[in-house]
Amino acid sequence: MDELSEILVNQARKLVSVVELKGWSVVLALEDGEWKVESLQQLINCEVVVRSDAKVQALAKEVGAELHQIFADGWAIGWDDRFPKGQRLQQALLFARFSQHDNLYAHPLDFVPVIDSLARKVVHIDFPPSWKKKSGGDVELPVSTTQPQSLSDESFSVANRARIPPPLTTHDFLHCTVVQPEGVSFKMKGHVLEWQKWKMHVEVLYCPPSPTTTTGQLRPILYRLSIVEMAVPYGNSAFDSGEYGMGSLANELSLGCDCLGENPLLGAIAFCTVPGAYVTLVQPLLIKNAICIHEEDAGVLWKHSDFRPGGRSRTVRSRRLVVSMVCTAANYEYIWNYYFYQDGNIEIEIRLTGILQVYVAGLDEPTPYGTTVAPGINAHYHQHTFSVRVDPMLDGLQNSVIESEIVGLDAPTGSNENFAGNGFVIKDRILKSQVEDGARDFNWASERLSYAIMMKGAVLPLLEKPDSWIARRASFAHKQLWVVRDEEGPKGSRIFPSGKYVPQTREEPEDSVGKWVKEGNGSIENEDIVLFLTLGTTHIPRPEGWPVMPVEHVGVLFKPSSFFTSNPSMDVPGIKDSQSRPVFNTNNANGQHTNVFDGTACCAN
């Protein structure tokens, strides 16, 4: 119990909250004489609380929403100096649903209740002010500051705007079948998965893979590979992993929709996925079919054609193994795909879909910080920042990170060293000091290990001010690459970059990556190290993303670099797919190169 700084007891519900540093972790609640677990039910309770409030009912009715039509997404309040630190709060983002399966996000309400989660009551109602156009084309607020309104019963009058009713507009190819007649190429024993030359242990967002070499020797690559945190800096920011526990938000996947082809669907048991989660689970939560495993075609793996008369051609198609799960965080869906390739590549791909976070907009109201995606619907600009934890184990626990800079030669064109002017070289530097080298701005062309990190398209600059609320809570987002020594101890190793206890933190926790990197002057050369990669996307909404967003892709690729002595996929056979057929009949190659004289396709000639 030495890590506990305070225990608070709510007398009304006999609820014990355990507080470490400046964060919360709800453990148990005594209700009706029984200790019960706080879970996702707490988010549903938010909806119950606001529906039960007479003032909320009246305000909703004023803009055309009846009691049974009120729905709320409960969001943990991260930073709000208007309330005491010891008060456990949620802000209720309100929507109206006018029919059973109506898209409630198409009908946002124009006020935001704040509830006390323990007392189960509404403690305040915010009315965000509306923007107005000025004569010169600029925009302004009808209030003097963007600071949150003071706690007052006159919050509506302070907003200095009219009520805004919710928008009432509603939104009302040939089949492709994946078959594997000979079955799958992978096998499972418990949670151990083997495929091609890969062997790994699969759990919720946890895949430590090891490939075999062409000699059959098993070589470790990673002890653990996982997505450990994400931050979405809306006005008050959201930590979908640290505040809610991403594992507990996993979907029960459906064969034929979420997963195609021949594959096993694995259940998941979520044990307090994030120790400080807002909906901490003390008892295990069983989620059926949370993990999907399947194989899929990944295009051409390698190919070469001898252009000379009588020359041969060979095409080898790539197959990849996919380990995936899907999590729903209120309006958003996150699809987590782990890809394993026959050439030794490992890829994490994050797909973002679901429904945009929106707010009601007045008639002709400008939206300087969002996009009008439909009449009366303002979708906010925002970023998604993810932290990927890489615990390397390249042939052992002791590893180093090498920064390789590709530079042109200093010698001028015409010189003996660079006569044609086209010379360039690689300059290597080993990252040695945790304090001096542990926090890096990622240069996509210069970071590499024996497995190179490729994240050019996913590098995301944090657009918020360095002293902003989100920047002070999510220190991991300041740099794209963090390298720290892994400290194993009674409390476990270094896992969570924003600390174990995230909800309602107002500063950077002591147990976070921004603090770890400043500790002492420890070496990170040839040590047991952990890497935290920061990647993400800046989301500028567009009408084409409404009412449901098509997926957006964010990813990082781990590519072997001098780990193997040659192409590890050279033994993949060039198998001709007997089910492939031409759509249009033609006997004329039109002068194009073909593998054999009759024009038929062949993978190995």
| Per-residue pLDDT reduced to its tens digit, 314-327 | 888 898 999 988 99
Secondary structure of 458-482 in HEC code, one letter for each residue:
HCCCCCCCCCCHHHHHCHHHHCCEE
Rounded mean pLDDT, 35-52: 72
CA distance 349 to 289: 20
CB count in 10 Å sphere of residue 84: 7
| 240 is annotated as an active-site residue | yes
Residue 353 reports pLDDT greater than 90: yes
Nearest Cα neighbor of 556 from 226, 237, 270, 239 is: 226
Stronger pLDDT, 133 or 449, i.e. the higher one = 133
The mean pLDDT value for 507-512 works out to: 83
pLDDT at 281 over 60: no
Q: How many CB atoms lie within 10 A of CB 183?
A: 7
**For the chain, what is the mean pLDDT?**
79
Q: What confidence tens digit (pLDDT) does each residue in 418-429 have?
A: 888 889 888 888
What is the band of 63 on the pLDDT scale with cuts at 50, 70, 90? very high
Task: Give the predicted TM-score (pTM) of the model.
Answer: 0.78
pLDDT of residue 445: 44
Q: Which residue has the higher pLDDT, 218 or 339?
A: 339
Residue 532 pLDDT greater than 70, yes or no: yes
d(CA 399, CA 392): 7
Q: Which residues share a beta bridge with 407? A: 425
Q: Decide: 505 and 461 in contact? Cβ < 8 Å.
A: no
195-220: average pLDDT: 69
Q: Nearest Cα to 200, choosing from 449, 190, 253, 450?
A: 190
Tell me if residue 244 is catalytic.
Answer: no
Query: Which pairing describes strands 285-305 and 89-96: parallel, antiparallel, or unpaired?
Result: unpaired
53, 73, 126, 240: the active-site residue: 240
The pLDDT value given to residue 71: 93
pLDDT tens-place string over residues 139-169: 888 888 888 888 877 788 888 888 999 988 6
More confident residue, 86 or 212: 86
- Give SS3 for 137: coil
> What pLDDT was estimated at residue 204?
61
Query: How far, in Å, CA of 461 to CA of 535, rounded?
Result: 9
Residue of 332, 334, 339, 359 with catalytic role:
332
174 vs 93: which has the higher pLDDT: 93
- In the predicted model, what is the mean pLDDT of residues 195-222? 71
> How much is the pLDDT for 275?
36
| pLDDT for 97 beyond 70 | yes
CB 131 within 8 A of CB 366: yes
Residue of 328 and 273 predicted with greater confidence: 328
3-state helix, strand, coil in the chain (%, to 5): 10, 40, 50
* Burial of 211 per CB tally in 10 Å (0-12, 13-18, 19+): buried
Average pLDDT on 470-489 reads 84
> What is the model's pLDDT at position 31?
46
Q: What is the mean pLDDT of residues 466-480?
A: 84
| Least trusted range by pLDDT, from 381-385, 455-459, 508-512 | 455-459
Percent of the chain with pLDDT over 90: 22
* Tokens linked to 135: 């004569």
* pLDDT (tens digit per residue) in 80-93: 888 887 788 888 99
CB contact at 8 A, 164 and 360: yes
Average pLDDT over residues 429-450: 71
Q: What pLDDT is attached to residue 1?
A: 36
